[in-house]
Structure 1
Amino acid sequence: MRKYSLIYMLAFGMMACSRDLPTELEFESYVFDQVDENGGNWKPILIPSGSSIEIPIPSSINSTAYQEELVQVKSAIQSMSSRQRESLKKWTNNPVVRWNEVALELIAKYNLIPGPNPDGTYPSPDPSNPQGPPAFPFAHPPYASRALAYLSVAQYDGLISAWHYKFLYNRPAAYRVDPSISSAYPSQDVPSYPSEGAVIATSSRKILTAMFPLEAAYLEKLEQEHLESLLLSGAFVESDLEAGIQIGNVVATLALDRASTDGMKHAQTTKAVSDSIANAAFERFGWKWENLESPQRPVGLTPLFGKVKLWNIPNVEANRPGLPPAPGSPEYEADVKRLKDFAKNRTVEQRRIANFWQDGLGTYTPPGHWNDFANRFIVKYRLSTLRSARTLAYLNMAIMDAGISCWDAKYYYHYPRPIQTIDGFETIAGTPNFPSYTSGHSVFSAAAAEVLAYVFPQEATKVRAWAEEAAISRVYGGIHWTFDATVGTQQGKNAANYTLDRARMDGAD
């Protein structure tokens, strides 16, 4: 079981969490803090501003067609099985959190380094042959950040369209039309057409299937289970679900169209290209990172992730940090002394911090860690599905943009890690196969903390302290230089500010 730092235990209580897989957050359905009747006017990310995904005009609640749907709902509720009742509890009235947890589970499952072939070569996972070997994907931190961004953006845009039609047509929930129908969830002043849950179920299934193709059957089963629960909740009839499914399909297609041309397919490159990047850095600066892992993979992790399409930063140069200290310079030598001192005198607390924030293989990675924090705040502050999707969309766009910026700096500067340049130096946290400057943990965490501080200002001091702890954890572990962490923290904050500029103009505040 994972050990939690004191700051985390004070925030959320003594909660246990598997090191390998996220535990399902235990929460009951709740009354939303606000309904946001004008949510359909918020600015989407993928859908052109001012337009919505078209769906049919709903039947009147007095029509024969609608009354027949009510009869079907009542019959289904009356014959509900114990399994279906448990499913209702699982999905709750905020499935945004539940589908995010599904994504975290899959990231952890696929966060495994592909092994070598018998001849010593290292094959890359191939999306055109997901069975492999090796199986596709390798859900490392850049991949995780991208999967979570596309999932959350699709959910958010889909719900903006759903909210537009909900308050345009104002079809009441089934249990309000027919008092003999009981509601499984707390009563909300949210119209039923189209079903927001159906938007989430279908868009999430499509996005996650594209990101984790070997899980197609599992994800389809979850989608059907979720849709069934919506019908049994007493809030929706079949046509509510059909309209939501239609929105979910369209918005997922928009997201996947963007993903198909964002450059991620080229991020893991050939050894020849990788070597040319290293040599260019050496010619430019006089140094280059060398992979000291054992066994050694011939190519670093996603050398061209820094060229993937950004969400809100205009270009990578706009968020590229300045030159790191040259090896042998006074600043560099001071940091050598600092790292040697940490290694020699590492305290129990420092070791615990390094382990807590490790988020290595078999976990949901640093981006997933911050999504877990966000989910807990969403429930704590009783955010609606729309507000929840907005939170995760901005969180994950900022995290992905921060990661792209970080990887640009890593391979532009190609800075050596401490283990490469300090004689006899050892880490307690492995040897990553990509350059040092800047620290991915620092960049991801600072970007995430700034978004969470914006959405949950009551938690601003806390989340920023967590980001600082995540950054220094990599120095305690011997993975990074101190300037990797401090500069990376600022780089993450800068990345988040581009996303927050967009958030402040979307009409939700």
Structure 2
Amino acid sequence: MRNKILTLISTFGLVVLVSCEKDTPRYLPYEGYSFTELNENGGDWTPVLEDSGASIAVDAPNATDSQAYQDELAEVKQVMDNMTSEQKKAVKYWTNNPAIRWNEIALELIAKYNLIPGPNADGSYTLPNQANPEGPPAFPFAHPPYACRALAYISVAQFDGLITAWHYKYEYNRAAPYQLDEAIDYAYEENDIPSYPSDGAVIARASRNILTAMFPLEAEYLQGLEEENLESLLLSGGYVKSDIDAGLVIGDAVATTGLARAANDGMKNAQTPKAVSDSIKQAAYDRFGWAWDNLEIPERPVGLTPLFGKVTMWSIDDVESVRPIAPPQLDSQEFLDDVELLKDFARNMTDEHRRIANFWQDGLGTYTPPGHWNRIANEMIVEHQLNPLQTTRTLAYMNMAIMDSGISCWDAKYYYHYPRPIQMIDNFETIAGTPNFPSYTSGHSVFSAAASEVLAYIFPDEAAKVRGWAEEAAISRVYGGIHWSFDAFVGTDQGREVAQYTIDRAKADGADN
């Protein structure tokens, strides 16, 4: 068994050579670009939550030769003629694919709120409460389960909204202002996508509504971003006001549908009272003869979201159907071999192993492992010049798979309640903080494997690279002393298995036809 583990480590080690250097500026340095495809049939694709692209009613627009439309054209030319330098910067920033920018905004908020609530003066803890977001402590604590859920809901709302937008774009087929009046200079690369309804307005409104629900203290900030995004649509020369208004109708509708699902998906019960957490721990001890103990200083009395494994999944009906096999018994040779393996890594820590552990750490104050993979996806979207509909499809399916994999991972964590290395190895020191939840399986491994499989499906030429990065993310947690090696490799298999359900769903949505 030790040879099997060392072979696995060697295999993971090979993929380190294809890893990228970590470079995480606040925003991607890209501008508006030409799209490789237009996906004229995108309105026929199957949405995630809506029944079809025609589920949301959007009235027919005014004809382009009507006085009402000509007045709108005149308004566009007037505001463009009087643009300030700040407005020009905003137009450049938002680009012709603002879904990426709103995803980056979500990552920024996740990092801002990814801070453990501090203990009260008496040593007790008060949990963040959505009913009292100002706290203290402030709501939310944007840990990995919260982050992957927020990213899934914003991405799904964007995707459903753009399917609807594409349906009406090609039903009504109203050309963009710059195509109707040669005096209007479009800010981006020209394309033949009809302007009504505005896809950018759909993205702005859906994103603002979802993120405001997820980060209620940021309502004013998000409103300001939406206003800037909508103004930039007009100033770009790509849309008139009625294009934007129609997009807002769609954005409101898809956000309402998404938030209705979120209100009933079980997340509000994921963080449990101590009595429930203790009962889950006792059940695992009765079942297996072991239990994870929290070794944080100061210790929080309850593990992180013990019932996240009960949250409704996107593409799987029964979380137990993807529950991994049991981890090794604590007196087994497989377990004893892993103890020696981790001791050896700790004694012989190399600069490369430390670099890998730090690169994939994604701990407190960062946008978490799900956010790391969104950053990777955004870079690939720009590199491959995906249009807005393709962009939201990529982010929706990837984040659905990440969330489903996280739910599956947390189900395993609290069902098996397996101890972490720091609990089982005397005087063991990690090179990263010890998470506040059980060891098996590794969340980094599961999240990363799920994300990489969806990206491999969307970008098949990149499959070897993204799968290599996922394996590196998995082994990074072993190098850091946070996880056992079987946490990593079983978690990688688990993430891939869960992601396949999402990929099967994606293959049936009509986009590949």
1:364 Cα offset (Å): 0.2
Cα distance in 2 between the residues matched to 1:74 and 1:351: 56
Aligned equivalent of 1:163? 166
Aligned equivalent of 1:483? 486
1:116 Cα offset (Å): 0.4
1:7 Cα offset (Å): 7.8
Matches within 5 A, 1:124-273: 124-273=127-276
Whether contact under 8 Å (2:53, 2:164) holds in the other structure is no
Cα distance in 1 between the residues matched to 2:19 and 2:297: 39
Q: Is 1:278 aligned to 2:273, yes or no?
A: no
1:48 Cα offset (Å): 1.1
Cα distance in 1 between the residues matched to 2:401 and 2:373: 12
Cα distance in 2 between the residues matched to 1:11 and 1:90: 29
Q: Is 1:333 aligned to 2:341, yes or no?
A: no
**Unpaired segments ≥5 residues, structure 1:** none
Aligned equivalent of 1:396? 399
Cα distance in 2 between the residues matched to 1:44 and 1:144: 22
Aligned equivalent of 1:321? 324
Aligned equivalent of 1:367? 370
Aligned equivalent of 2:379? 376
- CA deviation digits over 1:320-378, x for unaligned, max 9? 00111010111111111111111111111001100110000000000000000000000
* Aligned with 1:434 (options 433, 437, 444): 437
SS state at 2:329 partner? coil
Cα distance in 1 between the residues matched to 2:44 and 2:453: 25
1:23 Cα offset (Å): 1.6
Mean CA deviation greater in 255-264 or 313-322: 313-322
Whether contact under 8 Å (1:453, 1:463) holds in the other structure is yes
Task: Mark the CA change 1:8 to 1:198 in structure 2 (over 3 Å): closer, same or farther.
Answer: farther
1:16 Cα offset (Å): 3.6
Q: Is 1:28 aligned to 2:21, yes or no?
A: no
- CA deviation digits over 1:8-52, x for unaligned, max 9? 99776x7742xxxx5200011111010000000000001014643
Q: Aligned letter for 1:469?
A: E
Whether contact under 8 Å (1:269, 1:304) holds in the other structure is yes
> What TM-score do you get using the length of structure 2 for normalisation?
0.96
Extract structure 1 runs of 4+ deviating beyond 2 A.
5-12, 14-17, 49-52
Aligned equivalent of 1:40? 43
Aligned equivalent of 2:307? 304
Q: How many residues align?
A: 500
Whether contact under 8 Å (1:207, 1:256) holds in the other structure is yes
Aligned equivalent of 1:449? 452
Aligned equivalent of 1:474? 477
Aligned equivalent of 1:409? 412
Q: Aligned letter for 1:139?
A: A
SS state at 1:218 partner? helix
Whether contact under 8 Å (1:402, 1:495) holds in the other structure is yes
Q: Is 1:75 aligned to 2:96, yes or no?
A: no
Aligned equivalent of 2:68? 65
Identity level (%): 67
Cα distance in 1 between the residues matched to 2:22 and 2:69: 45
Cα distance in 2 between the residues matched to 1:118 and 1:300: 20
Cα distance in 2 between the residues matched to 1:7 and 1:180: 53
Task: Mark the CA change 1:6 to 1:97 in structure 2 (over 3 Å): closer, same or farther.
Answer: farther
Cα distance in 1 between the residues matched to 2:213 and 2:82: 35
Aligned equivalent of 1:292? 295
Cα distance in 2 between the residues matched to 1:287 and 1:116: 28
- CA deviation digits over 1:269-327, x for unaligned, max 9? 00000000000000011111000111000000000000000000121111100111010
Q: Aligned letter for 1:103?
A: A
Mean CA deviation greater in 423-432 or 489-498: 423-432
Q: Aligned letter for 1:483?
A: F
Cα distance in 2 between the residues matched to 1:118 and 1:461: 51
Task: Mark the CA change 1:156 to 1:177 in structure 2 (over 3 Å): closer, same or farther.
Answer: same
1:431 Cα offset (Å): 1.1
Cα distance in 2 between the residues matched to 1:153 and 1:134: 29
Cα distance in 1 between the residues matched to 2:456 and 2:126: 41
Mean CA deviation greater in 157-166 or 341-350: 341-350
Cα distance in 1 between the residues matched to 2:232 and 2:154: 21
SS state at 1:425 partner? coil
Q: Is 1:460 aligned to 2:460, yes or no?
A: no
> What TM-score do you get using the length of structure 1 for normalisation?
0.97
Aligned equivalent of 2:8? none
Cα distance in 1 between the residues matched to 2:14 and 2:173: 47
Output the aligned Cα RMSD: 1.4
Q: Is 1:117 aligned to 2:117, yes or no?
A: no
**Unpaired segments ≥5 residues, structure 2:** 1-12
Whether contact under 8 Å (1:445, 1:471) holds in the other structure is yes
Whether contact under 8 Å (2:47, 2:509) holds in the other structure is yes
Cα distance in 2 between the residues matched to 1:52 and 1:268: 35
Aligned equivalent of 1:357? 360
Whether contact under 8 Å (1:9, 1:15) holds in the other structure is no
Whether contact under 8 Å (2:442, 2:491) holds in the other structure is yes
